[in-house]
Amino acid sequence: MSISTTDPIVAPAEAHLSRVLGPLHLWALAVGLVISGNYFGWSYGMESGGPMGLLIALVPVTIFYVTFMLSYSELATMIPHAGGPSAYARRAMGTFGGYMNGISCLIEFVFAPPAIALAVGGYIENLSGGVFGQIQVAIFAYFLFIFINYLGMKTSARFELVVTVIALVGLAIFWVAAVPNFSWERVGSLKNGTEGVMGAVTFAIWFYLAMEGGAMAAEEMIHPQKDIPMGFLSGCGTLMIMGVLTLLMTAGIADYTGLMTLDFPLPAALEGAYGKGSMISKVVNVIGLFGLIASLHGIIVGYSRQTYAMARTGYLPKFLARVSPKTHAPFWALLIPGLVGILPISLGLIDKSYAAGLTATMITISVFGSIAMYIVSLLALFILRSKEPGLKRPFKVSYPLVPLISIVLAFFCLYCVIGYGGASALKWVAIIYAVALVYYFIWGNKKVRPFDEEFGVLDELN
């Protein structure tokens, strides 16, 4: 797992990722990566389909994620590598397949944090009565959690566990507070029929998006083959219960039309039920910040490990694989993608109207990258089952039924995002992929490490 000392740009041999994580940490990382999806973002789906349209959209999306995470657990335990989806696709499809799946993963993980940081800014702006501006807070929060990640994975994992548990407590408080004012009539509103449901799929995905990022901490897990399935599957069950309860309780206590485009729908819903400035809405607003922080922090872990692994492979510039000898954190892989994510937020300082629709745009870009990565990862599973049937598989999914269901639903989700996800966001996705392809054929395929050397990280697990 050590990086060669023969390359002057890469970190010295003793600077490497360290194995410090157990299944509880992975559960916290998987849930923490996603928990912000309960506190904001999903409400944009009600603009398309109303509460009932979003609830209906959540059914196929939930089935997809359950089947995908079962399939992904086989890949993650078979190839417990910091590159995650890039490593799986490379083993199955070769150099180009690995690169493109890694880029799709980076699109997901680099463009989700700006949306979350904007929500952090929205929650604080709402709590402070406008004293602190949303954009300024978002930029500060982004830099703060890049720094916390730099302190090392052990510190990061403990922090993630604490804030995730606090965020779960906050959701429980919200659900209990919502019960006395709950009405099924509000939840039953369906908007735009089938098209409304299709349009809501993008934001139903937000309830689960990025939970697979825990696989990118595989090289930092003590027993990855045993702990990854346990952490992933318990996380998936937790998120399924959370998503349904949050959607029902939020839509059931307030007029959803006033919540559709807010980055702080939970406290806003409580304000509608209990009055503006009510203590319960302030409590949920404050605790909601922990949910946003958990996801922002966890997804930064994900993009840094993916960037680190792709640079170590040779796909990306080698300086991105530098690891701090003191904290064992890939510092350039934390900072550079973070600056890419901060850029679109910063433009909101210049044009306030641009900032108004930015959260939904960032979510759509991130969701598209995730679905592209899911599809290629599932294809990698099918290819590896055929090409390398004797490969050590500590966890085996029910094959081929479960991955087959998953890939069909993945293409359904892709159809919904392309057809109903917003042309402006997809235009940016196309530009990102075009730039990535140009980079690959000019530079990115020139210094890729040999296959056997790259996957030598797995030898210590045999």
CB atoms within 10 A of CB 428: 17
Asked if residue 218 lies in contact with residue 81, where contact means CB atoms within 8 angstroms, the answer is yes
The pLDDT assigned to 102 comes to 95
What's the pTM value of the predicted model, to 2 decimals? 0.88
Asked if residue 260 lies in contact with residue 43, where contact means CB atoms within 8 angstroms, the answer is yes
Distance CA 229, CA 462 (A): 18
Distance CA 57, CA 361 (A): 19
Please report, for the chain, the start and end positions of each structural domain, with discontinuous segments joined by +.
33-461
The pLDDT assigned to 10 comes to 41
The pLDDT assigned to 461 comes to 42
CATH code 1.20.1740.10 for 33-461:
yes
CB atoms within 10 A of CB 299: 28
Distance CA 249, CA 436 (A): 42
State the virtual CA torsion across 304, 310, 312, 317 in degrees, nearest 10: -90
Structure tokens at 72: 């992904």
Q: What is the mean pLDDT of each run of 10 residues along the chain (462 residues)?
A: 37 51 76 90 94 96 93 88 85 95 96 93 91 92 90 76 89 96 91 94 94 71 75 85 95 93 93 92 93 88 90 93 88 95 86 73 94 97 96 90 98 94 84 97 90 55 43
The pLDDT assigned to 30 comes to 80
